[in-house]
Amino acid sequence: MVSGESITDVKGKIMMSLMDSVFGRVQHTKSRGTVLDRLNAAMALHRSRARLAALDAHLLDDIGLDQRTAEREASRPIWDAPGTWTQ
């Protein structure tokens, strides 16, 4: 706590920071990582999709997916991933 700041001021700053994080208003300055980091992430995504394609119908049902949805996801190209998966 900086001298002159009250507990209420500090709590207010913490609350605003949390709200910014929750509502996506934080500017991310983290780099995208090294080439090796990105390659490892792409390979992990490929393995996950391959495993998804290999699941039986009853296992897909357990995670709330049908065969068609699983096949569509598994057939997506390796570079086609939501931004949140690659961060």
Q: How far is CA 16 from CA 10, 19, 41, in A?
A: 10, 5, 32
53 and 82 in one domain? yes
74 and 44 in one domain? yes
36 and 13 in one domain? no
In which domain, by residue range, is 19 found? 1-30
Write down the pTM of the prediction: 0.55
What is the tens place of the pLDDT at every residue in 40-70?
888 888 898 899 999 999 999 998 999 999 9
21 and 36 in one domain? no
Query: CA-to-CA distance for 85 and 74, rounded, in angstroms?
Result: 15
What is the tens place of the pLDDT at every residue in 67-76?
999 999 889 8
